[in-house]
A and B are shown apart, each in its own frame.
Chain A
Amino acid sequence: MAARPSARDAAASLNNSATSAGGDAQNAANLKPIQVKLVLLGEAAVGKSSLVLRFVNNEFQENKEPTIGAAFLTQKCKLDDKIIKYEIWDTAGQERFHSLAPMYYRNAQAAVVVYDITKPASLDKAKSWVKELQRQANPNIVIALVGNKLDLEATARGVPREEAQAYATEAGLLFSEASAKTGDNVMDVFTEIAKKIPLDQLLASRGRAGGAASGSGAAAGGRVDLNAGPGGRNAQPGGCAC
């Protein structure tokens, strides 16, 4: 399918990584990636899958198969001297798949709640997702509210930026408007999330748990610990599967 390099922001970032590769490679490679579980939520067709595809493959597809249940993708990134591995659940947006959502956000350290800036109703849906996350998810979860389809701003904007921004501030969310189609601000979303997540704590707790995911035992321990945050860990007796 058509891969379209994103607009200048992402291009600049890629450039940067290329030039810094020689110097940092050694350093970066010695680090085990820090796993960050991230879930995308939002009404159907607001562009969740497209945002992920832009982030992971730097491409945009006009006809994407609808997501059935949820898709799972990973993307490794470098932030300063750390390597982060995003493990991304891209959930289906149709209302009836809502019944599956807890399974995906239960252990997430980050959530991207997406609405479509041309569809005011999609912001209402986003707000209800935020509420559910704040009630049910890991108490330390980092939530970003993203208004997608920014490329349609000139002709079809339906949600004033200020309105969404004000809500996000009040609810304590990261906020940005982005376009999966042009790539504008997409990278930014994931950067801000990475910056807000207590990566050092994740690292430290994983260290205690016996290192990286090299065997099933260590892996399970590591992952449980990943949910530990400043406010204590996600209480999950026996670490039972969701």
Chain B
Amino acid sequence: MSTGPFRPELIPLPRSLSSDGGENGMHDEASDTSDDDLSSVAPSADAHSDRGTPMDDASSRVPTEVGAQLHAIPPVVNSAQEPSAMSLLRQETVVRRQKMAVDEYGFYRDPSPTNHSHPSSAAIGMAQSGKQKVSVGSKEQQWLDLLSHWDKQFAKKRSKIKKLGRSGIPESLRAKAWTALAGSDKLKEPGIYERLLAEGNSPLFEVIERDISRCFPEHSMFAEEGGEGQTNLRNVLRAYAVYNPEIGYCQGMGMLAGMMLMHMPPEESFWLLVSTLEKHLKNFFTPVLLQLRMDAAVFEVLLHKTSKRLAVHLDKQEVPPLMYITQWFLTLYTTTLPWDTVLRVWDMLYCEGVKPLFRIGLAILRVNRDTLLKQCPTNAEILSLLLHLPRDKLEADHLVEASLRVKIRRADIDHLRKRISLMEIPERGTVSLLRKQRSPH
């Protein structure tokens, strides 16, 4: 392909000119199923395109549609008149910032409902059920009481804390609560953070640098190139890389640090990152992602236990959990769920430990179960769904409730983790407790 004139022979078939069109196509094809299922199998019209592209399967597409699609081709622009992509982007970013409001979490919100990356559940239009809801005022008071006698309360009131965590920590106390729950305030030693920044150096700084402007570019705190938010993010990640050279930096950690910085100052964020990676995500980010690969095997067993049919289906289609939980776990769902759901997951994680991480993942599969079984016959559809989840079933209360219905015990996880840790884990590839060791080949 290096020589000779280009002869265009391969013609990409555009999925459709607009995402609406694509959705309609899907609707037409499967009009005999319920609306609920449709909305989730239809390619997520998520125009936030760095989440990837909704796929256009439709192997049964009717002839006229292909014809119609072939005509629906983006207009050809004469390359001579084009401004550079860079300047286009810059302009667009400026325009967007001026036009766009910031949502309650600080994300720029596109006026069009399908076009923002982190819709809150309110935006999706799900009403809260209200049942068994503790009012915000009294919840705040309960947290204040807990936090004021933390050392005494913490050990005694585990189950109360767990319950409170499941209903969501009030935004005003979230930073305090996370810090106390993770024990990062205890970990913090004065002066260390500054020293790490002043004296440290690591070849990983270059790797970190590549990701700084790519971390939450849709959030007002991090959008500005070279702004304070990006500087803080760089500092927290650099400090960690120096503080713990064994882990250093791994993609995914930027999302964690970013989330923390949205709630607390850089130094506190750094210590929360330290304790989170030590307590909750221990060994997840090691050079061979050891714990992640082991937990994928744990997840596989739990899925078999809690949803056998789905587990068998995914297994048959060669979709091992590692293919989807990598993104879910390594970013603690920040790149997966609507933002207010993400916050609730983090609340539970700090209140309960690692169990919610599994439970939420299993709940995501559960709420999409029918779609996966009935409308995702091959791994292409399955993966397109799982890696670009339709937002409508991920509303916070709904997903948390679904996760609480996933009956697993902490002891199950501990037991499975122990079993897998006794196995020989290869440097690469998936591991499984359900079959004999899978080799990379």
Interface of B is mostly: loop
In whole angstroms, how far apart are the Cα atoms of A101 and B66 in the complex? 35
Q: B67 at the A/B interface (Cβ < 8 Å)?
A: yes
The verdict on A96 contacting B214 (CB below 8 Å), with A4-B82, A78-B11, A241-B318 known, is: no
Q: A154 at the A/B interface (Cβ < 8 Å)?
A: no
Closest to B386 in A: A72
Taking a contact as CB atoms under 8 Å apart, the answer to whether A66 and B430 are in contact is no
Q: B281 at the A/B interface (Cβ < 8 Å)?
A: no
- Contact partner of B316 (CB less than 8 A), chosen from A97, A188, A216, is A216
- Contact partner of A72 (CB less than 8 A), chosen from B59, B60, B313, B387, is B387
The verdict on A100 contacting B322 (CB below 8 Å), with A79-B10, A189-B1 known, is: yes
Give the chain B neighbours of A136 by CB distance below 8 A.
440-441
The verdict on A63 contacting B77 (CB below 8 Å), with A69-B327, A96-B287, A103-B429 known, is: no
Among A45, A67, A242, the most chain B Cβ lie within 10 Å of the Cβ of: A242
Taking a contact as CB atoms under 8 Å apart, the answer to whether A94 and B378 are in contact is no
- Contact partner of B10 (CB less than 8 A), chosen from A5, A190, A212, is A190
A44 to chain B, nearest CB (A): 7
- Contact partner of B1 (CB less than 8 A), chosen from A7, A98, A188, is A188
Number of interface residues of A (CB under 8 A): 105
B195 to chain A, nearest CB (A): 27
Q: A192 at the A/B interface (Cβ < 8 Å)?
A: yes
Q: A155 at the A/B interface (Cβ < 8 Å)?
A: no
Give the chain B neighbours of A15 by CB distance below 8 A.
76
Taking a contact as CB atoms under 8 Å apart, the answer to whether A72 and B384 are in contact is yes
In whole angstroms, how far apart are the Cα atoms of A136 and B428 in the complex? 12
Taking a contact as CB atoms under 8 Å apart, the answer to whether A62 and B380 are in contact is no
In whole angstroms, how far apart are the Cα atoms of A53 and B55 in the complex? 13
In whole angstroms, how far apart are the Cα atoms of A21 and B71 in the complex? 7
Taking a contact as CB atoms under 8 Å apart, the answer to whether A44 and B63 are in contact is no
Taking a contact as CB atoms under 8 Å apart, the answer to whether B428 and A98 are in contact is yes
In whole angstroms, how far apart are the Cα atoms of A57 and B76 in the complex? 14
Give the chain B neighbours of A35 by CB distance below 8 A.
380
The verdict on A74 contacting B56 (CB below 8 Å), with A17-B70, A58-B74, A59-B49 known, is: yes
Q: B88 at the A/B interface (Cβ < 8 Å)?
A: yes
Among B1, B15, B66, the most chain A Cβ lie within 10 Å of the Cβ of: B1
Taking a contact as CB atoms under 8 Å apart, the answer to whether A26 and B67 are in contact is yes
In whole angstroms, how far apart are the Cα atoms of A204 and B429 in the complex? 31
Give the chain B neighbours of A106 by CB distance below 8 A.
440-441
Give the chain A neighbours of B15 by CB distance below 8 A.
76
Give the chain B neighbours of A18 by CB distance below 8 A.
70-71, 73
Taking a contact as CB atoms under 8 Å apart, the answer to whether A66 and B254 are in contact is yes
Q: B13 at the A/B interface (Cβ < 8 Å)?
A: yes
Q: B52 at the A/B interface (Cβ < 8 Å)?
A: yes
The verdict on A66 contacting B62 (CB below 8 Å), with A101-B428, A220-B316 known, is: no
Taking a contact as CB atoms under 8 Å apart, the answer to whether B10 and A21 are in contact is no
Taking a contact as CB atoms under 8 Å apart, the answer to whether B380 and A242 are in contact is no
B43 to chain A, nearest CB (A): 10
* Band of interface residues on B: 35 or more
Taking a contact as CB atoms under 8 Å apart, the answer to whether A212 and B317 are in contact is no
Give the chain A neighbours of B286 by CB distance below 8 A.
96
Taking a contact as CB atoms under 8 Å apart, the answer to whether B251 and A94 are in contact is yes
Taking a contact as CB atoms under 8 Å apart, the answer to whether A33 and B1 are in contact is no
Give the chain A neighbours of B254 by CB distance below 8 A.
66
Q: A64 at the A/B interface (Cβ < 8 Å)?
A: yes
Taking a contact as CB atoms under 8 Å apart, the answer to whether B1 and A175 are in contact is yes
Q: A200 at the A/B interface (Cβ < 8 Å)?
A: no
Taking a contact as CB atoms under 8 Å apart, the answer to whether A99 and B50 are in contact is no
Taking a contact as CB atoms under 8 Å apart, the answer to whether A219 and B387 are in contact is no
Closest to B287 in A: A96
Q: A127 at the A/B interface (Cβ < 8 Å)?
A: no
Give the chain B neighbours of A188 by CB distance below 8 A.
1, 6
In whole angstroms, how far apart are the Cα atoms of A214 and B331 in the complex? 34
Q: B272 at the A/B interface (Cβ < 8 Å)?
A: no
- Contact partner of B251 (CB less than 8 A), chosen from A56, A63, A66, A73, is A66
Q: A102 at the A/B interface (Cβ < 8 Å)?
A: yes
Give the chain A neighbours of B307 by CB distance below 8 A.
none
Taking a contact as CB atoms under 8 Å apart, the answer to whether A7 and B79 are in contact is yes
Q: B53 at the A/B interface (Cβ < 8 Å)?
A: yes
Taking a contact as CB atoms under 8 Å apart, the answer to whether A175 and B2 are in contact is yes
1/0 per position for A183-223, CB-CB distance to B under 8 A? 00101111110110000000000000000111110011001
Taking a contact as CB atoms under 8 Å apart, the answer to whether A102 and B384 are in contact is no
In whole angstroms, how far apart are the Cα atoms of A34 and B108 in the complex? 40
Closest to B255 in A: A68
The verdict on A99 contacting B88 (CB below 8 Å), with A44-B210, A176-B2 known, is: no
Q: B356 at the A/B interface (Cβ < 8 Å)?
A: no
Taking a contact as CB atoms under 8 Å apart, the answer to whether B440 and A102 are in contact is yes
Closest to B87 in A: A2
Q: B354 at the A/B interface (Cβ < 8 Å)?
A: no
In whole angstroms, how far apart are the Cα atoms of A60 and B71 in the complex? 23
Closest to B334 in A: A68
In addition to A59-B49, A219-B317, 12 A-B residue pairs with Cβ atoms within 8 Å of each other are: A4-B88, A7-B79, A13-B10, A56-B12, A57-B49, A70-B326, A71-B52, A72-B52, A74-B384, A76-B56, A95-B287, A96-B289
Offer 20 A-B interface pairs, CB within 8 angstroms, sorted by A.
A2-B89, A9-B6, A12-B6, A14-B11, A30-B63, A44-B210, A44-B251, A59-B49, A64-B50, A67-B251, A73-B52, A74-B56, A85-B380, A100-B429, A106-B441, A136-B441, A176-B2, A215-B377, A219-B317, A242-B318
10 nearest A-B pairs in the assembled complex, by CB-CB distance? A69-B326, A13-B8, A25-B67, A21-B70, A102-B440, A29-B63, A191-B10, A17-B11, A29-B66, A192-B1
Q: Which residues of B contact A (CB under 8 A)?
A: 1-2, 6, 8-13, 15, 49-53, 55-57, 59-67, 70-71, 73-77, 79, 82, 85-86, 88-89, 92, 207, 210-211, 213-215, 217, 250-252, 254, 285-289, 293, 313, 315-320, 322-323, 326-327, 330-331, 335, 377-380, 383-384, 387, 427-430, 435, 438, 440-441
